[in-house]
Structure 1
């Protein structure tokens, strides 16, 4: 959605996923202890051996580790054109204090369980993706899906508590519908 909006309106896109590896390199174990514990694990330790609950509770990006690096990156960008930042690392409680008008400067997309299942199935190409680097790709995928469902529920609760805008994403929406709903939030 962010990419489509950036193309449509001539905005600059900042995708937090694109800078995760660089941000990981820029941190120390003292600055990001959960991240460095994660990096020290092998693929089975990360995705197969731990429960989804433990995965959710200890996943570094879900705790805001490295968020300051996102802010540093954004502050280095020119003021024009407008920047649209996207990614799961943009946690509501960290973003809201930085916004002058949260009701029209931010929106969180919350996938329904059905949408999440369809998305996981569409990306589950045998041999592709990090789950295939584990000894049990099916279990790793189930653990990841359950962890992500917990994260979505946390986002739902946090955005409600902070009175931030959300858009529920379900399987009945087209990509064009979703782009229009998000554009409406930004009033463009």
Structure 2
């Protein structure tokens, strides 16, 4: 197993974009990858693969979550419990993100994005702290982004697989507020970059601001 210092050196070519759901991480990362010739790695797309690659001993909260019904996940627990026990928020499977990144050719820069990039886990891997930024959506902006995403995909979200989609959505929104507040506090305490995203910031402005934060522009 490589040491933390060795991993940090091997990941010098990586740019990190974390943040809350609905903050525009995927859109911004894709734009930066195209604009600057970077490889794009979205951690959301790897979640099913990473779930298969873990054991219950390695990721107990993940395997407990997988065994739940949709109502058990999103209706029968408080938002506080949902937040405190959500496996990705606890860093389960994060080591598999690192494994994936280390397996990619180092000759090309990589922009990696996703809510699974927790500040406390990413910080020790940064040779240059300007290579990471977290996008923190306002509640109104996140609601707008979620609705826009649903329209674009033309299909209802997973909350519609519960017996009470409206209540599930409220629980999910409350859980997300807890998570964004955690990100805000962690980035501040660790001296990491964070940007608040709201309706006043259009897509091109977001791309430009993130590019500046990461030292790409």
**TM-score above 0.5, yes or no:** yes
Within-5 A mapping of 1:98-177: 98-102=125-129, 104-123=130-149, 128-177=156-205
- Give the C-alpha shift of residue 116 in structure 1: 1.7
- Give the C-alpha shift of residue 115 in structure 1: 1.0
Gaps in structure 1 of 5+ consecutive residues: none
Matched, 1:27 2:54: yes
Distance 1:164 1:38 in 2: 30
Instruction: Number of aligned residue pairs: give it.
Output: 187
TM-score, normalization by structure 1? 0.96
Distance 2:61 2:133 in 1: 27
Distance 2:161 2:140 in 1: 26
- Output one character per residue of 1:27-67: Cα deviation in whole Å (capped at 9) or x when no partner: 00000000000000000000111111010000000000000
- Between 1 and 2, higher relative CO (CA 8 Å, sep ≥ 6) is seen in 2
| 1:167 partner SS | strand
Gaps in structure 2 of 5+ consecutive residues: 1-27
Does the CA contact (< 8 Å) of 2:38 and 2:110 recur in 1? Answer: yes
Change (3 A) 1:50 1:124: farther
TM-score, normalization by structure 2? 0.84
- Give the C-alpha shift of residue 123 in structure 1: 4.0
